[in-house]
Structure 1
Amino acid sequence: MGRSVILSVGYEGRSQQNLLDVLRSHGTTVVVDVRLNPISRKPGLSKTRLAAALAEAGIEYRHLKALGNPRENRSPFHEGRVAEGCEAFRKLLAAPEAESALQQIVDESRTTTLAVLCFEKDHDRCHRQVIVDEVTKRERRDITYA
Structure 2
Amino acid sequence: MKKPRLFTIGYEGADLDRFLTTLQDAGVAVLADVRAVALSRKRGFSKSALREALSQREIGYDHFIRLGTPKEGRQAARAGDAAMMKRIYCEEVLTTPEAEEAFEQLADLAQQQPVCLLCFERDPAICHRRILSDRLRDRGMQVVDLTVV
Q: TM-score, normalised by structure 2?
A: 0.91
Alignment RMSD (CA, Å): 1.3
Report if aligned partners of 1:6, 1:114 keep a CA contact under 8 Å in 2. Answer: yes
Q: CA deviation at 1:136?
A: 2.2
Ranges in structure 1 where 5+ consecutive residues have no aligned partner: none
Distance 2:42 2:76 in 1: 24
Q: What is aligned with 1:13?
A: 13
Please tell me the residue identity of whatever aligns with 1:4: P
Q: What is aligned with 2:4?
A: 4
Q: What is aligned with 2:50?
A: 50
Distance 2:2 2:10 in 1: 25
Q: TM-score, normalised by structure 1?
A: 0.93
Distance 1:85 1:43 in 2: 26
Report if aligned partners of 1:15, 1:42 keep a CA contact under 8 Å in 2. Answer: no
Shift >3 Å, 4+ stretches: none
Q: CA deviation at 1:130?
A: 1.2
Length, aligned pairs only: 145
Q: CA deviation at 1:131?
A: 1.4
Ranges in structure 2 where 5+ consecutive residues have no aligned partner: none
User: Does residue 108 of structure 2 align to residue 107 of structure 1?
Assistant: yes
- SS at 1:31's partner residue? strand
Q: What is aligned with 2:128?
A: 127
Distance 2:77 2:40 in 1: 19
Report if aligned partners of 1:78, 1:125 keep a CA contact under 8 Å in 2. Answer: no
- SS at 1:103's partner residue? helix
Q: What is aligned with 1:78?
A: 78
Q: Identity over aligned residues, as a percent? A: 33
